[in-house]
Amino acid sequence: MSIQQVSSFAAGQWITPGAGARNIASAITGDVIAAAGNDALDVQSMLDHARSVGGPALRALTFHDRARMLKALAGHLNQHKQALYEASFDTGATQNDHIIDVDGGIGTMFVFASKGRREMPDGQVYLDGDVEQLSRHGTFLGQHICTPLQGVAVHINAFNFPVWGMLEKLAPTLLAGVPAIVKPATNSCYVTELAVRLMLDSGILPLGALQLVSGGLGNMLDHLGMMDVVSFTGSANTALKLRSNPVILENSVRFVAEQDSLNGSILGPDATPGTPEFDLFIKEVSREMTTKAGQKCTAVRRIIAPDAQVEAVIEALSARLAKTTIGDPRLDSTRMGALVSNSQKRDVLEKAVIIGQEATRVYGDPDNFAVDGADANKGAFVPPMLFHCADPDNAQRVHDTEAFGPVSTVMGYRDVDHAVELVNKGQGSLVASVITHDPEVARQVALGAGAYHGRLYFNNRDSMKESTGHGSPLPHMVHGGPGRAGGGEELGGVRGVMHYMQRTAIQGSPDILSAIGQTWVPGGTEIKGPAHPFTRNFGELAIGETLHSPSRIVTLQDIETFANFTGDTFYAHMDDDAAKRNPFFPGRVAHGYLLLSFAAGLFVEPNEGPVLANTGLDNLRFMKPVSAGDSIKVRLTVKKKTPRNDEYGEVRWHVTLTNQDDEQVAEYELLTMNAF
């Protein structure tokens, strides 16, 4: 059998393994199938290439350009995912495991592409929060902006998810406008190399945006500077070693760590045998123990159940685990494959012995189990192993020792406070789950355990049909955790993009802020257009273009007609004496929504034109009541423009209503879709 030479991609060139190459064995057979690594990689050249070629090319694009790039990459990988499936079997993963890794990674990239288009501007500056009033008359303002770091992101990934682990970091990095150097774990780097080749061969990425190190990084971290980022996934010990690099400390290099943790799952006191919640709990824990052969940073390591239900949990879980067919992952009948390597197998068995010092193994014998279609001694196979800790309060190893495989420990709790105390003994976890139908139990756990966990997952009969599972990090939600879990955050939508950007406070006049953020700021220069703005298409409208309407008097008849027509006869509009007793009103006042209707009548252009639809309004505030006899007028300003496709774009209008004394009575942002 030929041995695959897993290459690196450095400074635009593929480089085959050389001196220092390491052999990679199949998790199924133990035979050498590949080699990776080259001590001659010029790491400084790689960093320079990313900073001088990849970075400028990415930063020249807008967020929407980068989002479209991500969407195209995800689509290209989706067309070739079968090849990624086939390459992944030798990691010990089953077809279902591939779907989590490959499809999950592609799906994550699609989500970031969507969020980039929907939640970020079609520009190069991201506005973080509202404008801050720093002066009495609004001529000196402040705002926070985010711009791409002008360095390189070094991604150091774990072996368990060679595709998802890369793409969940790569998507927000590229969306931010920062080039990446990806270093996958050597044991499964041949899968990552294929994914990188597919992306590079597509021609979608700018030159220098993505490089790959198959094998060791060498001294690359010694060459990082203040504009660079290290994003790491792996063990706490390795993370500590890397983040302690003197250069990283001296240059304040950002270090984002997502570490393995002793995640727990709590069975609520209401979830007794026979309830949907009890059955759900058994199903979830069993799945988390066996998916990817337990090699998930989010897998359930501690099973926390009411004292009265411990035996029932052990019995039900053992029965379910007994149905797990272990074998060659290529077989359709296999439900759990192998660990990634025999060295990982040795590590898991050693950690299981340590856990066994404080807990009794109640299911699974690593010396006596069946493997279908493969040799249990040659391959990296282990059975699911369930332990029971009778004294979790005085135990230590079950709360600080992780066997990174299909190993978990059951322990009992007295009450919910005790369950919270036990789950927090992990000293920081990526996720804890609670299976309960009692909202008060969920609230108690959230208040007591939230600070110790990056994610809390609640599930019960109401949500279980659509829930995604305890161990599934979602691109929309933060993935990370405090303490032992690394103290970092990944994913989380646009939050994840911010790891690769610098937040900067800017201060200046409204025109200065408007120019930097490409978003009109109240108080900025108003532009008078050549015609009514609703007659001008998307491309013709300019930021700051403003319409001032004539005024309209609001009469008592208007107020009463609106009240009777809509049914809104709230006393403040209909009863003068009652309204006067309200400290907010001088007497009967106009409905807020009446004012909005009148405002639309004052600024709308009724004829057919480029305005296709009114899609909503944001940030509505009523500042001063309007009484019968008062007049109102409208200022309508183009605040922001966002293309949506080749046919139309979204226009955000800043709308201000003022009375006869030029006092502001209402303010909001109108959204319309305008044709190009």
Of 295, 319, 310, 312, the closest CA to residue 388 belongs to 310
How many CA atoms are closer than 13 Å to the CA of 111, on its beta-carbon side? Answer: 23
In the DSSP assignment, the letter for residue 131 is: P
The predicted model scores a pTM of 0.92
H/E element holding 210? strand 210-212
Catalytic, out of 146, 189, 288, 297: 297
In sequence order, what E strands does 394-530 have?
A: 407-413, 432-435, 456-459, 478-481, 488-491, 501-508
Residue type, 68: R
216 C-beta neighbours (distance < 10 Å), count: 17
CA distance 420 to 290: 25
Q: Please, what is the Cα angle at 282 between 276 and 283, to 5 degrees?
A: 85
Q: Please, what is the Cα angle at 637 between 634 and 640, to 5 degrees?
A: 145
CA distance 14 to 35: 15
At 570, list the tokens. Answer: 């709230």
Q: What is the per-residue pLDDT for 655? A: 97
Residue 1 clears pLDDT 80, i.e. is over it: no
Confidence category of residue 579, pLDDT binned at 50, 70, 90: very high
CA distance 112 to 200: 19
Q: What is the per-residue pLDDT for 20? A: 82
Confidence category of residue 38, pLDDT binned at 50, 70, 90: confident
Model pLDDT for residues 456-470, shown as the tens digit of each residue: 999 999 999 989 989
- 305 by DSSP, 3-state: which? strand
Write the CA distances from 391 to 303, 358, 359, integer angstroms: 13, 8, 8
CA distance 407 to 299: 9
Buried b (16+ CB within 10 A) or exposed e, 372-401: eebebeebbbbbbbbbbbeebeebebbbeb
Q: What is the per-residue pLDDT for 221? A: 95
| Mean per-residue pLDDT, 145-154 | 97
Catalytic: 663? no
Write the CA distances from 176 to 66, 89, 228, 464, integer angstroms: 8, 33, 13, 35
Model pLDDT for residues 415-446, shown as the tens digit of each residue: 999 999 999 999 999 999 999 999 999 999 99
Residue 19 clears pLDDT 90, i.e. is over it: no
Question: Do 392 and 398 meet the contact criterion of CB atoms below 8 Å apart?
Answer: yes
Q: Where are the alpha helices (DSSP H) in 141-184?
A: 164-176
Domains of the chain: residue spans and CATH: 4-259+496-502 (3.40.605.10), 264-472 (3.40.309.10), 526-675 (3.10.129.10)
Model pLDDT for residues 250-291, shown as the tens digit of each residue: 999 999 999 889 999 999 999 999 999 999 999 999 999 999
| Mean per-residue pLDDT, 572-592 | 94
Question: Do 162 and 193 meet the contact criterion of CB atoms below 8 Å apart?
Answer: no
CA distance 69 to 309: 51
Compute the residue count for the chain.
Answer: 676
Confidence category of residue 549, pLDDT binned at 50, 70, 90: very high
Q: What is the per-residue pLDDT for 626? A: 96
| Mean per-residue pLDDT, 661-673 | 96
Residue 237 clears pLDDT 90, i.e. is over it: no
CA distance 529 to 547: 8
Residue 592 clears pLDDT 90, i.e. is over it: yes
Question: Do 588 and 556 meet the contact criterion of CB atoms below 8 Å apart?
Answer: yes
Residue 645 clears pLDDT 90, i.e. is over it: no
Catalytic, out of 258, 284, 288, 545: 258
CA distance 143 to 129: 7
Strands 501-508 and 141-148: antiparallel
The rounded mean pLDDT for the chain is 95
Residue 184 clears pLDDT 90, i.e. is over it: yes
Catalytic: 297? yes
- The strands making up 22-25's β-sheet, listed across from edge to edge, are 4-6, 32-36, 22-25
Residue 471 clears pLDDT 90, i.e. is over it: no
Can you give the three-state secondary structure of 370-422, one letter per residue? Answer: CCECCCCCCCCCCCCEEEEECCCCCCCHHHHCCCCCCEEEEEEECCHHHHHHH
Neighbouring residues of 172: CB distance < 8 A, sequence distance ≥ 6: 112, 490, 491, 496, 497, 499, 500
Model pLDDT for residues 112-133, shown as the tens digit of each residue: 999 999 999 999 999 999 999 9
Residue 340 clears pLDDT 90, i.e. is over it: yes
Model pLDDT for residues 39-97, shown as the tens digit of each residue: 889 999 999 999 999 999 999 999 999 999 999 999 999 999 999 999 999 999 999 99
